[in-house]
Amino acid sequence: MLTPQRTDARRNREIILRAADEAFAEGSDVVPIEEIARRAGLGRATVYRHFSDRYALATTVAAHRLETLKCIVGTAERDHRTFRDLLHMVLREQVARRPLINIIRELPEHEQRRFADSLIAVLAPAFRRAQAEEELRGDIEPADLVLVLEMIEGALSSKLVPADDEAAIRKLIAVSLDGLYPRPETAQGSSLQSSDLH
Q: What does the buried/exposed string (b/e) look like for 2-26 if buried means 16 or more CB atoms within 10 Å of the residue's CB?
A: eeeeeeeeeebbebbbebbbebbee
pLDDT of the residue at 189: 45
Q: In whole angstroms, how far apart are CA 98 and each of 79, 94, 114, 144?
A: 28, 7, 19, 22
Residues 122 and 75 sit within 8 Å (Cβ to Cβ) = no
- pLDDT per residue as tens digits for the range 82-106: 999 999 999 999 999 999 999 999 9
- pLDDT per residue as tens digits for the range 125-182: 999 999 999 999 999 999 999 999 999 999 988 877 777 788 999 999 999 999 999 9
Task: Give the separation between CA 7 and CA 80, rounded to whole angstroms.
Answer: 39
Kindly list the structural domains of the chain, giving each domain's residue range(s) and its CATH number in brackets, ordered by start: 54-182 (1.10.357.10)
- pLDDT per residue as tens digits for the range 16-36: 999 999 999 987 788 899 999
CB neighbourhood size of 47 (10 A) = 24
Q: Is the pLDDT of residue 193 over 90?
A: no
- More confident call, 146 vs 195: 146
